[in-house]
Amino acid sequence: MCGIVGYIGEGSAKDMILTGLKSLEYRGYDSAGIALNKKGKILLRKESGVIANLEKKTGKPDFDGCVGIGHTRWATHGSPVRENAHPHLSADGRIAIVHNGIIENYLELKSWLKKNHGIVFKSDTDSETIAHLISVFYKGDLIEATGKAVAKMRGAYAIGVIAADEPDKIVAVRKDAPLIAGIGAGCNYLASDIPALLKYTRDIYLVENGEIVLITASEIKIYDEDMTRVKREVMHVTWDAAAAEKGGYEHFMKKEIYEQPEAIRETLERRLDEGGNIKLDGVTLTKKEWGRIDKVYIVACGTASHAGMQGKALIERFAGVPVEVELASEFRYRNPLVNDRTLFIGISQSGETLDTLEALREAKKRGARILSICNVVGSSVARESDDVLYTWAGPEIAVASTKAYTTQLVSLYLIALHMGRMRGFVAEDEYRRVIEELRALPEKAKATLKTEEHIRKLAERFYIKEQIFYIGRGQDVGTAYEASLKLKEVSYINSFAIAAGELKHGTIALIRKKTLFVVLATQDALYEKMLSNIEEVKARRAHVVSIAKKGNKRIAKVSDETIYIPQCADEIAPILAIIPMQILAYHIAKLRKRNIDKPRNLAKSVTVE
Ligand code: F6R
């Protein structure tokens, strides 16, 4: 997630950039840096840790200038140390870049730069490649060199660039990562997000995918991929600072729901190499060690435990190892059967949930190998684990977990497939098929968000209900649990999730006229059975809202309402199916006038037993 900021004008670039970076703190970061162009020389300062560390480094008056770029980094490629912090310089120190996103083909570019230009890399990042690439193409025209460099890059990026030889400009370019340019008086700005600029200007240009921007003190020119000048309307921002942090959304929960396509892409793409092979950074288990595992425990709380339910299905299917999913609050009180052939997977967004942490310690004592899935870099769970696979969801501020959940699912797919390959269990064509399905996920998640208007209208009809049931089969059971939790925590409606086949063993007694059933029917293999379950509850005069894959028309005939998600393989459906459920919970809570981002009695991180 992290953020970039740029300034060009007559004032102090350093001051503006530091203020801008502080306003982007909510995006999360673990190091920060600034590069300035002063009299044809690039000055660079960067530090790991909080922005105050950078402020100390940039404190002296001789470190200032009228043009510069800055960055807050959240470690992905390489650890959060000074060397990996941005900006990065070209080998001759005359080009500086800041970058948000992922350069997917950076290894290929890196070896090309090493081989053909003898470049020695100073960091472990993918981003450093960009500085060298621009420098290789640089013949005195920064915008031309940047254009040539991005034509070689694949991935997602928002990049800011300065060149020592062109102190009168900043060049920026964007693809699948947010970027705006701000219009000042005698100066102009660049940033990842509006809050960074609110103290300075409210007039901005939204930069679109594929566009390249030339910023001087007096003008901002936007070009498309063919270098044709683009005309863009100025957007005047009327939000206050608090609203701007929410990116114009009314609540963090909604913003975070909408950030899911990007968060999924971040979590996924960094772990796939050119050939579509999974590389689990932060996981050091060898092929032999993967092979020795004879049991997996997935342990977590709340939403993270629902991700664990999906993880069980995935690991058993792709890696052929039996998996138990346990609530962390139960695990250590029941003498779990753990030994040195057990892999303990702890899932925690915050990495500070005490029950999960204590369960992890207990498993460690009993000899298990500890692998955690965490969203917060350097958190307690991450630090106490043998291996960590980070979800790159960016900070999750709303108490109700949304993007952390979907990125936990992505991480579990990666672990299951990688484990299956290391153990020689998953067939190669199956592995490839699922990787392709995963790669299509960010776009499909984006398409799923389009269900919002339909769901908002449904919420208007159902928000007065005092009880809602969620049912599903197979992997839809976990989705039903998570959908139900989402609804109850933000709307305070008494909701209940159950495997559809269990209904007739008791719960069916609760059905009365117009009892609302949300039916998850995304599993092709169980589709017919779900149709029967719908008939079963309809016969008792329940009201049915179904969630199905596009193209499944029969379900619309038997349901009162149907929400469609894009076509996808059954195993992938849980990631898409939860999105409309999050949106439903959000709109019902909004209509009931709940404190959506901070529901009563709940805390974001539960550090007590
Ligand atoms: C629900 C929710 C909680 C958390 C649970 C675990 O929306 O957010 O159920 O999932 O408290 O928290 P972490 O993942 O931080 O360990």
**Residues 528-543: what's their mean pLDDT?**
95
- Residues at CB less than 6 angstroms from ligand 1: 301-304, 348-350, 353, 356, 400-401, 485, 489, 605-606
| Ligand 1 midpoint to CA 444 (Å) | 25
| Ligand 1 midpoint to CA 64 (Å) | 44
Nearest CA to ligand 1 atom 10: 303
**Residues 87-94: what's their mean pLDDT?**
97
Site to probe by mutation for ligand 1, drawn from 253, 257, 353 as the one with most ligand atoms within 8 Å of Cβ, is 353
Name the strands in the sheet holding 516-521, side by side, starting at the edge strand that comes first in the sequence: 494-499, 467-472, 516-521, 543-549, 561-565
Nearest CA to ligand 1 atom 9: 302
- Chain segment 460-490, per-residue pLDDT in tens: 999 999 999 999 999 999 999 999 999 999 9
How high is the pLDDT of residue 361? 95
Q: Is 549 known to be catalytic?
A: no
| Ligand 1 midpoint to CA 482 (Å) | 11
Whether the per-residue pLDDT at 64 is higher than 90: the answer is yes
Ligand 1 atom at shortest distance from the alpha carbon of 305:
10
Dihedrals phi, psi of 89, to nearest 5 degrees: -110, 155
Whether the per-residue pLDDT at 363 is higher than 70: the answer is yes
Nearest to 307 by CA among 343, 348, 256, 252: 348
State the amino acid at position 598 in one-letter form.
Answer: K
| Ligand 1 midpoint to CA 547 (Å) | 24
- Chain segment 28-59, per-residue pLDDT in tens: 788 999 999 999 999 999 999 999 999 999 99
Q: pTM of the predicted model, to two decimals?
A: 0.79
Nearest CA to ligand 1 atom 7: 400
Q: Please state, in angstroms and rounded to a whole number, the distance separating the CA atoms of residues 15 and 470.
A: 53
Ligand 1 atom at shortest distance from the alpha carbon of 606:
11
Nearest CA to ligand 1 atom 16: 348
> Pick the residue with more confidence: 601 or 437?
437
pLDDT band at residue 131 under the 50/70/90 scheme? very high
How high is the pLDDT of residue 609? 66
Ligand 1 atom at shortest distance from the alpha carbon of 399:
8
Tally the C-alpha atoms within 13 A of residue 532's C-alpha that lie toward its C-beta: 9
| Strand 295-300 versus strand 342-348 pairing type | parallel
Q: Is 255 known to be catalytic?
A: no
- Asked whether the beta carbons of 325 and 305 are under 8 A apart, the reply is yes
In the chain, what percentage of residues exceed pLDDT 90?
A: 85
- Asked whether the beta carbons of 607 and 353 are under 8 A apart, the reply is yes
- Asked whether the beta carbons of 571 and 475 are under 8 A apart, the reply is yes
Ligand 1 atom at shortest distance from the alpha carbon of 304:
10
Q: Which residue has the tokens 């209900």?
A: 465
Site to probe by mutation for ligand 1, drawn from 306, 326, 350 as the one with most ligand atoms within 8 Å of Cβ, is 350
Q: Which long-range contacts (CB under 8 A, 24 or more apart) does 405-408 make?
A: 405/303, 405/304, 405/306, 405/307, 405/482, 405/578, 406/260, 406/263, 406/264, 406/445, 406/575, 406/578, 406/579, 407/263, 407/264, 407/266, 407/267, 407/375, 408/304, 408/307, 408/347, 408/349, 408/373
Q: Work out the burial of residue 115: count CB atoms within 10 Å of its CB; fewer than 13 is exposed, 13-18 middle, 19 or more buried.
A: exposed
Ligand 1 atom at shortest distance from the alpha carbon of 402:
7
**Residues 541-562: what's their mean pLDDT?**
96
Q: Work out the burial of residue 535: count CB atoms within 10 Å of its CB; fewer than 13 is exposed, 13-18 middle, 19 or more buried.
A: exposed
> Over the chain, what is the mean pLDDT?
94
Site to probe by mutation for ligand 1, drawn from 251, 385, 401 as the one with most ligand atoms within 8 Å of Cβ, is 401
In the chain, what percentage of residues exceed pLDDT 70?
A: 99
Q: Please state, in angstroms and rounded to a whole number, the distance separating the CA atoms of residues 162 and 157.
A: 16
- Asked whether the beta carbons of 14 and 36 are under 8 A apart, the reply is yes
pLDDT band at residue 602 under the 50/70/90 scheme? confident
| Ligand 1 midpoint to CA 316 (Å) | 24
Domains in the chain and their CATH numbers?
Answer: 3-243 (3.60.20.10), 246-439 (3.40.50.10490), 449-591 (3.40.50.10490)
Whether the per-residue pLDDT at 423 is higher than 80: the answer is yes
| Ligand 1 midpoint to CA 303 (Å) | 5
| Ligand 1 midpoint to CA 300 (Å) | 8
Tally the C-alpha atoms within 13 A of residue 349's C-alpha that lie toward its C-beta: 27
